[in-house]
Structure 1
Amino acid sequence: MNPTRRAILQSVVTLPLLGSFSHRVSAELALGSATLETVSDGNLQLPGSFIFGPMPPDELAPILAEYGISKERITPECNLALYRDETNTVLFDVGSGPDFVPSAGRIVGSLDTLGLAPEDVTQVVFTHAHPDHIWGLLDEFDEPLFYNATYMMGRAEWDYWWDPETVNTIGDARVAFAVGAKRRMVAIEGSVEFFDDGDEVLPGIAAISTPGHTPGHMAFEVRQGSQAALIVGDAIGNHHVAFHEPSWESGSDQDAQTAVATRKMLLDRLSSENMTVIGFHLPNGGIGRAEKVDDGYRFVGR
């Protein structure tokens, strides 16, 4: 069962703030002459049912115990990928901003630790338009925060959130998601560039359709020569049940069955190619690898 919006908001208010994720930057990953790393936007605080609701409780319990995860609340990290080469400074997603949860919205401070300001970002590429990925788009004057950047989004994702019927069909728990996404998309309507599955978004960065979490969710293969990494956004949403039991449906996915197929495809590719994965909600900065074990997988961090 999906939690109500009231339950989500009450959880946000009552849980203590966790400051340990603020302004943390992960280890840098070299890709030829380019670099790929993550910058922290803080962490979310959500009821466990947001993910675990559809899962079999008896089988879920030992997995959560193994990973030290509470079934009552989850506090996943929010790790934005940052790609820099000789020309571009590319930020994947923009974080939550100040209006989603009080423990997130830390991206400006995290960039500052790297000596970067919002105006230094040349492109913003969106995986999808959920609040923790797009609500950080606007500053306190409702103007685009990354004002020098070109904004880029998958065409299918844009069309879904732009559709006036989405707010009526998304379900009560996610109405605020639809309203918030549309408000921010209006601000960049005249300057956004669209791409489709398989397109080279920028040199060395290719879009991969990964629907399910949202209808138009995109992942990105970043490749320089023989070196490559896969930015998966929320298509692999955590390091515990998503890896251990990728066939289980998650309450966080808008189309759970499609998300299962996407997740299994990504994990198979990541493990078989031994490719680096960068996940928005994966732990310790979100960079690691997927290792095949028994009937599932294990996240191995850097």
Structure 2
Amino acid sequence: MTLTRRTFLTTSSLALAGLAARPAWAATEMALGEAKLITLSDGHLSLPREFIFAPMPEEELGPVLADFDLAEGALTPPCNVTLLQHGDRNVLFDVGSGQFFMPSAGELLDALDAAGLTPEDITDVVFTHGHPDHLWGVLDDFDEPLFANASHMMGRVEWDYWWNPETIDTIGEARASMASGAKRRLEILEGSVEFFDDGEEILPGVAAVATYGHTQGHMSFEIRQGNSAAMIVGDAIGNHHVAFARPQWPSGSDHVAEQAAETRLALLDRLANEQMPLIGYHLPDGGLGRVERDGDAYRYVADLA
């Protein structure tokens, strides 16, 4: 396994007089046997602190957060879309939020362009779950599938949850727009989506791992090449601070908080025991790192080699 850090620079706009150069895009890479995993930025979210912290014990939260360099005000977690390149496949795990969720996100197309890829180059799209920052980027400006040449895959339990007409009435007022937005996109994709269940090998060397709780059918993915492996965890481990330091605490971002905490603990324990690298959608520095034990808890270590 080889870890590298690369910055992709776009140059096409330099040829256009009077226009500023487009920004450089950083991507964290990991070689895994004959495959390569690359994380591409879709930008970042801006979330009220209570979205995560509201259900946590307030008197204990402050001392835990003091160990982390979190700015005051809104939380701004990054959004790391994972690209798996293996043979003739370009596989995206999640597709970002597109242009209609938050102004700070929806930058995946620029990141792909900087990496020398177009939407037509993507062969497979695999979803961890149906939240806006993972699903809403699947359509273009004309409400057609953006990745027109790709297969689309989602866990059966997750699809059924967002497809259920009762979800919009039971998810809570604050998340009702998430449910309607997910349903609209899934209706457009209906008939072209492949479903899978826990433990299935959905692509060569890619196995689905049920990590329910953040959403009802959230999936992670173990990418294995020979004796080397990495885990794409999506939002099953949703941040680099309390999710590691107090994984047993409920998070306001999780649909089924108790189940999500149990899932998080089991996943952290496995990753620490096996020293398997992970890629987290909202983890810092590109989201590629590993888990270390820290007493009776854990800590996140970014791999920036």
With the length of structure 1 as denominator, give the TM-score of the two structures.
0.91
State the AA in 1 paired with 2:124: Q
Q: Is the 8 A contact 1:23 1:106 kept in 2?
A: no
Aligned to 1:162: 163
Aligned to 1:238: 239
Report how far residue 25 of structure 1 moved.
Answer: 3.2
Aligned to 2:277: 276
Instruction: Map 1:130-279 onto structure 2 (within 5 A).
Output: 130-279=131-280
1:158-180 deviation line (CA, Å, top 9, x unaligned): 00000111001100010001000
In structure 1, C-alpha distance between the alignment counterparts of 2:174 and 2:70, rounded to whole Å: 23
Report how far residue 125 of structure 1 moved.
Answer: 0.2
1:144-189 deviation line (CA, Å, top 9, x unaligned): 1111110000000000000111001100010001000001111110
State the AA in 2 paired with 1:112: D
Q: Is the 8 A contact 2:28 2:40 kept in 1?
A: no
In structure 1, C-alpha distance between the alignment counterparts of 2:44 and 2:164, rounded to whole Å: 29
With the length of structure 2 as denominator, give the TM-score of the two structures.
0.90
Report how far residue 297 of structure 1 moved.
Answer: 0.5
In structure 1, C-alpha distance between the alignment counterparts of 2:52 and 2:169, rounded to whole Å: 23
Q: Is the 8 A contact 2:122 2:150 kept in 1?
A: yes
1:116-162 deviation line (CA, Å, top 9, x unaligned): 01110000000000000001111111111111110000000000000
Q: Is the 8 A contact 1:40 1:77 kept in 2?
A: yes
Aligned to 1:85: 86
State the AA in 2 paired with 1:187: I
In structure 2, C-alpha distance between the alignment counterparts of 1:301 and 1:26, rounded to whole Å: 13
Identity fraction in percent = 60
In structure 2, C-alpha distance between the alignment counterparts of 1:243 and 1:109, rounded to whole Å: 31
Greater alpha carbon shift after TM alignment, 56-65 vs 129-138: 56-65
Unaligned 5+ segments in structure 2 are 1-22
SS of the equivalent of 2:67 reads helix
Aligned to 2:18: none
SS of the equivalent of 1:207 reads strand
Aligned to 2:58: 57
In structure 2, C-alpha distance between the alignment counterparts of 1:172 and 1:219, rounded to whole Å: 27
Instruction: Map 1:68-107 onto structure 2 (within 5 A).
Output: 68-70=69-71, 72-107=73-108
Report how far residue 73 of structure 1 moved.
Answer: 1.5
State the AA in 2 paired with 1:171: G
In structure 2, C-alpha distance between the alignment counterparts of 1:156 and 1:140, rounded to whole Å: 28
Report how far residue 63 of structure 1 moved.
Answer: 2.0
In structure 2, C-alpha distance between the alignment counterparts of 1:193 and 1:30, rounded to whole Å: 27
State the AA in 2 paired with 1:81: T
Aligned to 1:14: none
SS of the equivalent of 2:153 reads strand
SS of the equivalent of 2:159 reads helix
Aligned to 1:9: none
Report how far residue 66 of structure 1 moved.
Answer: 1.5
Report how far residue 24 of structure 1 moved.
Answer: 3.4
In structure 2, C-alpha distance between the alignment counterparts of 1:166 and 1:59, rounded to whole Å: 33
In structure 1, C-alpha distance between the alignment counterparts of 2:82 and 2:63, rounded to whole Å: 31
Q: Is the 8 A contact 1:48 1:70 kept in 2?
A: no
Aligned to 2:14: none
In structure 2, C-alpha distance between the alignment counterparts of 1:185 and 1:27, rounded to whole Å: 30
1:167-224 deviation line (CA, Å, top 9, x unaligned): 0110001000100000111111011000000000100000000000000000000000
Aligned residues: CA RMSD = 1.0
Q: Is the 8 A contact 1:213 1:253 kept in 2?
A: yes
Aligned to 1:6: none
Distance of aligned partners of 1:23 and 1:278 in 2 relative to their CA distance in 1, 3 Å threshold: farther
Q: How many residues align?
A: 281
Q: Is the 8 A contact 1:55 1:250 kept in 2?
A: yes
Report how far residue 62 of structure 1 moved.
Answer: 1.9
1:268-301 deviation line (CA, Å, top 9, x unaligned): 0000000000000000100000000111101000
Report how far residue 71 of structure 1 moved.
Answer: 6.0
In structure 1, C-alpha distance between the alignment counterparts of 2:175 and 2:285, rounded to whole Å: 28
Instruction: Map 1:6-25 onto structure 2 (within 5 A).
Output: 24-25=25-26
Aligned to 1:292: 293
Report how far residue 47 of structure 1 moved.
Answer: 0.1
SS of the equivalent of 2:28 reads coil
State the AA in 2 paired with 1:181: A
Distance of aligned partners of 1:27 and 1:218 in 2 relative to their CA distance in 1, 3 Å threshold: same
